Structure 1
Amino acid sequence: MSQDAPLLQLRELRVDVADRHVLKSVTLDVPAGALLVLMGANGSGKSTLGMALAGHPRYRVAGGSARFAGQDLLALTPEARARAGLFVSFQAPPEIPGVKNNLFVRTALNAVREARGEAPLDAFDFLADARATAKRLGMPEAMLGRPVNDGFSGGERKRNELLQLALLRPRLAVLDEVDSGMDVDGARALVELVRERRAQGAAFIVVTHYQQLIEQLQPDAVLRLAEGCIAESGGLALAADIARRGFAREAAAQEA
């Protein structure tokens, strides 16, 4: 990848879910270290974009291209995409009964480390880092030894996503309403983690409609997704206008 090439480059990306055309044409550049906020009405395709980038089999790319870190992202398996440094959080993180949280994250981390040419972490070294990270995120240490998300509240599941983000250190993270269900301390931990990772060159696409969080994140751009396309791009003023008038502003603008 050349010095000036964006980390993620989408060109007229089209994605179908079952027989529905959800994303009709998305063109987007995400440079290293950038933070974009993605907004849009329910069903506009925000989650579809993240799942398609991750390679979820239900989300079929019908056309266009996606390049990540100089590679054809669409030619990679989901596992290879993750190893290359792509992280996509779940809007509703699922439970994985019988799989301990610490084993799950360490297995993922060592797969990523192997792809980077780094030595794997043994259980002792990993746990020391995981415990320190969990404490910083306000996450009880006991949750590391429990099955993944089993019995976790909504906010705890989202903090667990932050734990994975902090430990895996991806190059690009797509965070799908990761603030949903979080308390004030969790939101603060999210902002601090994003700032820390951006300073190290990581890029973010954050799906949220929480105005205060958007202001704290200080995004490079705010994008509005509508009818399967990026319909509008702006800054904090765009987010504030959507927060004030909602997505009904779209219909008003079309009628004017």
Structure 2
Amino acid sequence: MATLEIHDLHVQVETDNGPKPILKGVDLTIRAGQTHAIMGPNGSGKSTLAYTLAGHPKYTVTGGTVTLDGDDILSMTTDERARAGLFLAMQYPVEVPGVSVANFLRTAKTAIDGQAPKIRTWTKQVTEALAQMNLDASFAQRSVNEGFSGGEKKRHEIAQLELLNPKVAILDETDSGLDIDALRVVSEGVNRFIEQGDRGVLLITHYTRILRYIKPDVVHVFVDGHMVTQGGPELADELEAEGYDKYVKAARVDA
């Protein structure tokens, strides 16, 4: 049963003017079967949290701990974190010209499992995963994200999620750039992952529309590098109606 524990996490990034603190003491525990949504204004550090958990070299951890099932994630390389069970669906998936979706997926699965999947079985699984994302089987022969529409990129990310089946999925604004049909398809894929019951999800979003399809157990408000409050799904409705202004003002007073 997966448990991701983040305790007093501090992170900085190098700028032309020197180190800049971004995360200022983040505490969060995601247990198996739980879906946590993080909402907050632009520039509050939500994506920094996602990329720090994944091991992006741009971000330097200056304090705190992150463990997955008791194992120190921060001491691991990015590929080791993936093998340990972390998955990041990126806000802006990168293009990988010359590498087909089929080869990319099989290489990733082999790296995570430690052995290559059987071709016949794997081909069937890939075809089914793509079909569930409304992607034709020929999609597997295209170069990763090259020439993909915004919706295709995000649906491909969720196909990866289903095939790689991590312990904890971090979804960084997976809903951005999606029309209503693509949003529904993506949400259905995430819900299939959640329904396994022994997986955790950290969903980062600006808007409540995806939360109409994916029901969070906890909604956190993230301002100026840390959590300022949390609540149930009703908190997302409050944010939709009133915005973040009162939380931003409160954070300034506290600072």
Structure 1 unmatched runs, 5+: none
Asked whether the 8 Å contact 2:154–2:186 carries over to 1, the reply is no
- Asked if the contact 2:41–2:206 (Cα under 8 Å) also holds between the matched residues in 1, the reply is no
Q: Does 1:250 align with 2:247?
A: yes
Q: Distance in 2 between matches of 1:131 and 1:190?
A: 16
- What RMSD in Å do the two structures reach over aligned CA positions? 1.6
Partner residue in 1 for 2:92: 92
Q: Report the equivalent of 1:169.
A: 165
Task: Work out the number of aligned pairs and report it.
Answer: 247
C-alpha separation in 2, matches of 1:97 and 1:231:
41
* Maintained 8 Å contact 1:26/1:229: yes
- Residue correspondence of structure 1 range 72-221 to structure 2 within 5 A: 72-114=72-114, 119-200=115-196, 201-221=198-218
Structure 2 CA distance for aligned equivalents of residues 120 and 100 of structure 1: 17
TM-score of the two chains, using structure 1 as the length reference = 0.91
TM superposition score normalised by structure 2: 0.92
Q: Kindly tell me: are residues 253 and 228 of structure 1, through their superposed partners in 2, closer, same or farther at Cα, counting changes over 3 Å?
A: closer
From the superposition, tell whether residues 251 and 196 of structure 1 become closer, same or farther in structure 2 (CA, over 3 Å). Answer: closer
1:13 corresponds to which of 3, 9, 12 = 9
CA offsets 1:192-250 (integer angstroms, 9 cap, x no match): 22222222211100011332321321111000111111001011221111111222233
Q: Give how far 1:153 is off.
A: 0.8
Any gaps of 5 or more consecutive residues in structure 2? none
C-alpha contact (below 8 Å) 1:50/1:88 kept by paired residues? yes
| Corresponding letter in the other structure for 2:204 | V
Q: Quick one: which amino acid aligns to residue 76 of structure 1?
A: M
Q: Take 1:253 and 1:244, find their aligned partners in 2: how far apart are those partners? A: 18
What percentage of residue pairs aligned between the two structures are identical?
38
Once the two structures are superposed, what CA deviation does each residue of 1:73-107 show, in whole Å capped at 9, x if it has no partner? 11111101001110011111010111111101110
Q: Distance in 2 between matches of 1:235 and 1:24?
A: 24
Is the 8 Å Cα contact of residues 209 and 243 (structure 1) preserved in structure 2? no
Q: Runs in 1 of length 4+ with deviation above 3 angstroms?
A: 251-255
Amino acid at match of 2:21: H
Contact 1:97–1:148 (CA under 8 A) maintained in structure 2: yes
Contact kept? 1:155, 1:183, Cα under 8 Å: yes
3-state SS of 1:217 partner? coil
